[in-house]
Amino acid sequence: MDTETPTFDALLAGSAPSGGYNYAFLDEVTKRAIRRAILKAVTVPGYQVPFGSRELPIARGWGTGGLQVTLAIVGPGDRLKVIDQGADAGVNASNIRRLVERTTGLPTTTETAAATVIQTRHRVPEEPLRPDQILVYQVPLPEPLRIVEPSEAKTRRMHAEGDYSKVWVHLYEDVVRQGEISIATGYPVMVNGRHVMSTTPVPRWDVPKMDRAPFLQLFGAGREKRIYAVPPHTSVVPLDFEDYPFRVEAFGDTACARCGATDAYFDQSVDDATSRRVYTCSDTAWCDRELDAQEVAW
């Protein structure tokens, strides 16, 4: 039997030996272990469950946690959407989509409403998700207490005891120094009134969408070997002060240069010709949908 290991490029090109890879790439034992970790995470919302993270054939820094969760839960009947910074067309998103297509035969989509599983880096789609959809987050830094406590043993004890005083002190110091809570991404939230969780890596704009959402949210961190979850209809409350309340990013009267939307999270770029700042929807599928709707209206 040929035991030569095919390369990832060969797999993507469709020239890998048939049977060389299992359904959804991971072996069944691994997928079962990940599903067990997911079930445990769902029963204790916001609690970080350790799991035996595997190596995956993707570039370093792309993140494997979200991908491992996705590979463990997809099955016949699913349709996958993958976004990176809100866009479906990024290199990371395209390659993850191809990996799942080639190893499962499942269809993929860029339409938010057409997907059953959405894997994301950096954004929650602008279009409200339904109860039959699952949002999988690729998480770089799962521990919300790391910013105040470098020791893993100590952060685990702080979670166990519900001792979040250091986080509150950190937020207080932020207000004293900056005049407001300046955390941009990974804003700390209280989940189900019990566990403080990092909303990494989404912007503050997306945090309110997590609260009592009708859909299941799964978070995977590959390097740190952690899975956590927010089940449907679970409270996700940003940590803040009564006189310094949590706020999403303010874009003023900014409108998308492409579709004209004013109620979306925007990416900023500079127009080469005019050197002026240009804002466009970060969620490209949302932007496309808005444009299509306008064409129909005309």
Which residues carry out catalysis?
Answer: 46, 256, 259, 281, 287
Do the beta carbons of residue 117 and residue 134 sit within 8 Å? yes
3-state helix, strand, coil in the chain (%, to 5): 30, 20, 50
Residue 102 near Zn ion by CB under 5 A = no
Binding mask 199-238 for Zn ion (x = CB under 5 A): ----------------------------------------
Smallest distance, Å, CB 280 to Zn ion?
Answer: 6
Going 264 to 267 to 272 to 275, the CA torsion angle's sign is positive
Minimum CB distance to Zn ion smaller for 240 or for 288: 288
Three-point CA angle 99, 102, 108, nearest 5°: 75
Going 133 to 188 to 65 to 127, the CA torsion angle's sign is positive
Minimum CB distance to Zn ion smaller for 192 or for 254: 254
Smallest distance, Å, CB 124 to Zn ion?
Answer: 16
Q: Which position among 42, 72, 96, 281 is part of the footprint of Zn ion (CB under 5 A)?
A: 281
Smallest distance, Å, CB 257 to Zn ion?
Answer: 8
The CA distance from 195 to 152, in Å, is 16
Do the beta carbons of residue 36 and residue 80 sit within 8 Å? no
Pick the piece of the chain touching Zn ion (CB under 5 A) from 85-93, 115-123, 199-207, 280-288.
280-288
Strand, coil or helix: what is 179?
Answer: coil
Minimum CB distance to Zn ion smaller for 55 or for 263: 263
Residue 287 near Zn ion by CB under 5 A = yes
Binding mask 249-268 for Zn ion (x = CB under 5 A): -------x-xx-x-------
Minimum CB distance to Zn ion smaller for 196 or for 281: 281
From start to end of the chain, where are the E strands? 49-50, 80-84, 117-121, 134-138, 188-191, 195-198, 216-221, 226-230, 236-238, 266-270, 277-281
Residues binding Zn ion (CB under 5 A): 256, 258-259, 261, 281, 287
